[in-house]
Structure 1
Amino acid sequence: MWRKASAAALLALAVGYFYYGSPELPEHILQYVGLPGLQTSTAPQSSLEEVISSAWEALITLPSRQWSKVAVGVNACVDVVVSGVGLLQALAVDPGAGSDHEVLHSKEDLKEAFIHYMARGAAAERFFSDQEVFHRIARAAAEYPGAKLYVGGNAALIGQKFATYPDLMVLLCGPVGPKLHEMLDEQIVVPPESLQETDEYHLILEYKAGEQWGSTQAPQANRFIFSHDVSNGGMSSLETFVASLEEFEPDLVVLSGLHMMEGQGRALWEARLKEAVAAISEIRRDIPIHLELASLTDKDFMNSIMEEQVMPVVSSIGLNEQELLFLSQAGAGPHAELPSWKGVPDVGRVSDILLWILERHGRSDPASEADLTRIHFHTLAYHILATVEGHWGNQAAAVMAGARVASSQACGLRSVDVGKVQLRAPLEFSSSHGEPREALTLDPARPVTVWRRGNVTFHFTPVLVCKQPLRTVGLGDAISAEGLVYSEVKTPQPF
């Protein structure tokens, strides 16, 4: 009996020590102790989710100098969102083994690629080469019970997010058909040259966390996107977009849709990338350009974007964990030997790749002629903003704003509901996977951890992950747009 009493007394002393030394810990200690009869005399502590959400609301502030006009291009379409498993069953295909395909040529290819990414809980986007088969699948998707139509395409989605700010004028260039034009926010200006008689449709096959098909079970909610989209595939609106900028006079240009060219074949994308760079180079150098990346599979194509073509002439990029790792694999960068991420991507490894991009392809060296000074990385559990010193301001607020919109929009809400989200980010991590390695922690009451490597500053914040997400499409676009709204570009200083 005395042993139990002594153990209880020691436990009470330990809890008391942690409580008075760190008031945010008692609830977590009691959860792991498993003694329901042990009560503290104080009021219940706030959950970590509540602490982080409250801190976001207190700390997220708009920059002193805000954008007034933003031009966005060049991919736009109508998204048909449907249950992936349900649609494939309706198409009379049976579950089986997954296999990735750079281009989809048949229903069988579609099934295998869908299973491949569903098993990983990863997002992907592919081109479907057979126009007739794609249209049959598209009709079946539109008629499937519960199918919904939304504004689609990275540029259009980013434009829609910007348009939620009433003082911000938004120009959108892309192949805009009648249905899409009807769905766009009234605040968005579309040049007449961008209007076309028919819409481009993209099919979004969604799956839920834990959803099973055959022997495949999704570890988390995500989606698989495919289309037969020739207008966006050739970036047909790019020249119209650049020509519109002189009259519109934007403070910021956001470019997306490069990934759509991949499925058109090497001959097309090689020529079109050169034309794209020539067009982008006509944009005034004092206007920052943000490039939103998306899923790619061709390493040569990615290398052309990185080494020879687009990345050196843009100021900022946005990308997720799949795109970040593929970028490193294509360029033989840090951790390129990893076939894929396992679980939540390691912060140290992510930090290594972000630094490598800014050192090799960006302006971390003041003598470099590259313009890239900012990367907004987002994954399910956390976000990181990496910026070259002296070029961007308000980045702590920007990274928190991006995480906050991810937490709310995934749940279909305008604000974060702490009862519907959970913290999945690590509270302790390292600044690098190698050396020198700095041990870092996250303070939930001030949920941005900052570190520097050379002249690159990293801002880390967790995402409060929606437990039952209603829609995953467009989250990355909303995150990047929100992060840009809260960002301030600094006037370049002479070196």
Structure 2
Amino acid sequence: MAGAPMKLGSIVSFCIVLYAIYFRKNDIGDERLVSLKEHLLFLESKNKVGVGVSQPKVALGYGACHDLFVNATLLLDYQDLKGSPEHFNEISNKEEFVKSFAYFFKHGAAAERFMSNSKLYDDLVEQALKLPDTRWAIGGNAPLMAKRFYLEGWKVLFGAKMSKKLKSYIPEEILVVGDNENEEVRDDIHMILEYKADERFGEYKAPRANRYIMHNDENNPLLSSLEKLGEYLPSFKPNLLVISGLQMMDNFPFKRDGKDLRAERLDLVKQQILSQPLSTLAHFEMASYVDLELLKHLTTKVLPYVDSVGMNEQELSNLNSVLERGRVVVVADSNPRIATALDQMRNTFRLIRQKNKKFGSKRKLTRMHVHTLAYQAILTVQNLKWKRTPAAAAKASLTAHRYVCNTQNINLEKTKLLLDDSFSTTTDNDNSSRVFFEANKPVACWEETIESDKVEICVAPVLICTEAQLTAGAGDNISAAGLVLQVEI
């Protein structure tokens, strides 16, 4: 495989030390957990930023919403499933909704879809509000990531049109821009249909906890806060610019009078990135996309101009396929082997680097972060601005547990590992390299050369929360936590 990691002898030359760890049991199950927790916490604690006068600054766009969390299998009736589960790019009626939900539920895969039927959407919201345990929260990539950066000590600016009620969810220290003075804003509502691992929907059983998001947005697809955010960027002077929320454009009816408004808005996103000095790092947060036209826009108008990309395993598989074959992958393995994910990361890295050259971008992709249920994988080009990669992987892992369990404490009785004692670094049959996890050095890191670039890859096991309290927003918090430690000011 082109660009695969070096052979075993080369890896040894880079001083990857292999340690065997034996799987043993004690009162909490996997004995590795105690040492892994201790050393992940140590890595996090000794690598703090955002304290004192050296506060990094982050600007984020675009959009926000009210998230309405609801138990998926209480809202939807399996008896309404007519025929087999099926994928739809856009949802227009109840039958499509149930089929689409069942399709992703049986795979345990996250999904996000636009419902074009506003009347049906409003009716579903009313039904959801009558169910037990339904709750409201602030939603959207930008505000959730903004809150995480703020909690980690950063100064934060983010762009979104929000009502006064929705703004009340945001700490006062975060500067929110987007709406005009005295403007009445009608917040978009996202329905978050959550389910737990092993939960049943008729004959189907979820292989893992996850969520299906449905929306009928009006503000967010238009990136209505983009211009206002642009007005504040010159004086704010961020160290990091985060581009997110573009999935709200997925399958939204943009073309009017023969004009593609979506392409126009994305051109403005591109210009916003280009308006920043190269000293301001730019990160793009991927999401669930199925609209191929939009994905192709992203590969020409956004991806060539950012320094960093963050995504989960489903989004990695989809992005890799779109870049390589021009095809959308609707659902992928919800718990891929590390070797598979690393191969896709390398390939995606190379393909985006080719876009850098093709479009003459002054920025080059120098960082990728892939977060999965079982592990965190971060790739960074060496000797550049991205720092503390091992600690970033550790912090992302800990944040995954804390957010999903909705607690700051790591309770090992509610924790499990899915990783074995070792993993291959590639699926290449000719490459016999393996890395063994070391309990007192839980983040495995090594060097590779991908084409002409020397990169560092770090993989950290996730202390998986076995009693999930939150699923939606986990990726946003994990990605932000990974970035928190990597920006040098």
- Greater radius of gyration (CA): 1
Matched, 1:438 2:422: no
Shift of 1:274: 2.1
Q: Which amino acid in the other structure matches residue 318 of structure 2? A: F
Q: 2:190 aligns with which of 202, 219, 234?
A: 202
TM-fit CA distance, 1:421: 0.6
Aligned partner of 1:219 in structure 2 is 207
Aligned with 2:132 (options 123, 145, 148): 145
**Pairing 1:284–2:269 present:** no
TM-score normalised according to structure 2 size: 0.86
> Shift of residue 85 of structure 1?
1.2
Q: Secondary structure at the match of 2:324?
A: coil
**Cα separation, 1, equivalents of 2:23 and 2:195:** 37
One-letter identity of the residue aligned with 1:441: F
For 1:50, give the aligned amino acid: V
Percent of aligned pairs sharing the same letter = 29
How has the CA–CA distance of structure 1 residues 356 and 67 changed in structure 2, closer, same or farther, with 3 Å as cutoff? farther
CA gap of 1:139–1:313, structure 2 versus 1, over 3 A, is: same
Q: Distance in 1 between matches of 2:201 and 2:29?
A: 41
Instruction: Go from structure 1 to structure 2 and tell me whether the alpha carbon gap of 1:95 and 1:421 turns closer, same or farther (over 3 Å shift).
Output: farther
Taking the aligned partners of 2:354 and 2:34, their CA distance within structure 1 comes to 38
> Aligned-pair distance for 1:343?
5.5
> For residue 466 of structure 2, what is the aligned residue in structure 1?
467
CA distance in 2 between counterparts of 1:486 and 1:281 reads: 24
Deviations 1:186-220 (A, max 9, x none): 22111263664221110000011111111111111
Query: Tell me, what secondary structure is at the counterpart of 2:77?
Result: helix
User: For 2:228, which of 240, 264, 267 is the aligned residue?
Assistant: 240
Q: Residue 271 of structure 1 aligns with which residue?
A: 264
- SS for the counterpart of 2:211 is strand
Cα–Cα, structure 1 residues 337 and 443, in superposed 2: closer, same or farther, change >3 Å?
farther
Residues in 2 aligned to 1:296 and 1:152: alpha-carbon distance in whole angstroms: 18
Is 1:189 equivalent to 2:175 in the alignment?
yes
Distance 1:144 1:457 in 2: 48
Which range moved further: 140-149 or 211-220? 140-149
CA distance in 2, matches of 1:328, 1:27: 37
- Secondary structure of 1:135 counterpart: helix
The reply to whether residue 395 of structure 1 matches residue 384 of structure 2 is no
1:368-447 pair list within 5 angstroms: 369-391=362-384, 392-434=386-428, 435-447=430-442
1:27 aligns with 2:27: no
Q: Deviations over 1:259-305 (max 9, x none)?
A: 11112146333332223212322222221111111001123322321
The alpha carbon displacement at 1:64 in A equals 6.6
* SS of match in other structure, 1:331: helix
Instruction: Spell out, residue by residue over 1:314-337, the C-alpha distance to the aligned partner (whole angstroms, 9 max, x if none).
Output: 111110011000111112269x89
Contact 2:393–2:460 (Cα < 8 Å) also in 1: yes
Equivalent of residue 318 in structure 1, options 298, 310, 328: 310
State the number of aligned residues.
452
Residue 146 of structure 2 is aligned to residue 135 of structure 1: no
Aligned CA RMSD, in angstroms, stands at 2.8
Displacement of 1:128 after TM fit? Answer: 0.8
Q: Does structure 2 conserve the Cα–Cα contact (< 8 Å) formed by 1:364 and 1:373?
A: no
CA shift in 2, pair 1:461/1:196, >3 Å: farther
Cα distance in 2 for residues equivalent to 1:338 and 1:264: 19
Structure 1 residue 67: Cα displacement? 4.5
Structure 2 CA distance, aligned partners of 1:314 and 1:99?
Answer: 35
Aligned-partner Cα distance in 2 for 1:209–1:475: 16
Equivalent residue for 2:92? 105
Match of 2:8 in 1: none
Q: Which amino acid aligns with 1:447?
A: P
Q: Is the 8 A contact 1:96 1:214 kept in 2?
A: no
Superposition deviation, residue 125 in structure 1:
0.3
Tell me: CA distance 1:426–1:45, structure 2 relative to 1, closer, same or farther (3 Å).
closer
Structure 2 gaps, min length 5: 1-18, 255-259
Change in CA separation of 1:324 and 1:156 when aligned onto 2, cut-off 3 Å: same
Alpha-carbon contact 1:449-1:460 (below 8 Å) kept:
yes
Gaps of 5+ in 1: 1-21, 32-42, 491-495
* Cα 1:370–1:445 shift into 2, 3 Å: same
The SS at the match of 1:332 is: helix
TM-superposed CA distance for 1:429, in Å, is 1.3
The residue correspondences of 1:35-46 to structure 2 (distance < 5 A) are none
> What TM-score do you get using the length of structure 1 for normalisation?
0.85
Distance 1:284 1:439 in 2: 41
- 431-440 or 456-465: bigger deviation: 431-440
